[in-house]
Structure 1
Amino acid sequence: MRQPDIEIYLKDADVDHKAITAWLTQAIGPCTEWAQKGQTWKCQADNVPVTWIPKAVGKWNSLCLDSDKTPWEDDIACARAAFAALKVEVRCAPGTWVEEESDAEADQWIRISVDGEEEITWHTS
């Protein structure tokens, strides 16, 4: 089932909203200019609202695509595409987040890197 939105985390400090723009333009469509509000950057890739939060979790940058109209079925497919295009480690939740989920379940993540793809425990709070 297609997720209603996508959220992935990118590790490398060298990846900024400009690199994300180039990738999203190629993958989804032209991006509008980024608007910065505090630490948050927003734009639209085609008709998809995009939010970029540098260092959202430590060294990790958050990328949110607030639409089900992306080329990717879910977070994992997007994370794989981001890793292939940007060559940086990417993490995402293995499925759709639900509020009733236990802390242990919330700490289960998929890590995609030069080492391959694996399930990890990542304490984000």
Structure 2
Amino acid sequence: MQDLEIYIRDLKPLAASQWLSSHLDQLELDDQQVDAKAIKGRALYEGVTVNISLYPGASGKRYTCLVLEGASLPWNTDLEIARSAWRSMDTEVRCSPGEWKEGEPVEDEKWWRLDDRGEQLVVWN
């Protein structure tokens, strides 16, 4: 099972579903109101189910965490999906560089930040 996770700043209603609908089939995601505790959806990719979760208010009020889970996804890494989301939504997107593992200290943890300044590894705060 593949699992991709990104954080989208100031996500606008329907922006995630409009972007994802160009990459996934039979998308079922009601992101009309992006202030719910969690928004669950699903779609198909290459005929296989993809589970979609949106978590508004993640890592501070301005970010929404998007998680995609499936046997196969249109992207292979968090950075690939972040690039696609940023190009489509034109808002800051962040993701893990993939080096951190659960249980490791996070003091100097770096994240990819994609925005109009480009792609940079930054400390989250």
TM-score normalised to the size of structure 1?
A: 0.82
Equivalent residue for 2:72?
69
Higher helix share: 1
Q: CA RMSD in A?
A: 2.2
Equivalent residue for 1:79?
82
SS, match of residue 5 in structure 1: strand
**1:1-125 to 2 correspondence within 5 Å?**
4-13=2-11, 15-16=12-13, 18-34=14-30, 39-46=37-44, 47-58=49-60, 59-95=62-98, 97-104=100-107, 107-123=109-125
Q: How many Å separate the matches in 1 of 2:97 and 2:29?
A: 31
Moved more, 109-118 or 96-105: 96-105
Higher strand share: 2
TM-score normalised to the size of structure 2?
A: 0.82
Identity, % of aligned positions: 32
Q: How many Å separate the matches in 2 of 1:33 and 1:116?
A: 29
- Which amino acid counterpart does residue 80 of structure 1 have in structure 2? R
- Which amino acid counterpart does residue 72 of structure 1 have in structure 2? W
SS, match of residue 76 in structure 2: coil
- Residues matched between the structures, number: 117
Q: Is the 8 A contact 1:24 1:45 kept in 2?
A: no
- Runs of 4+ with >2 A deviation: 33-36
Return closer, same or farther for 1:33/1:11 CA change in 2, 3 Å cut-off.
closer
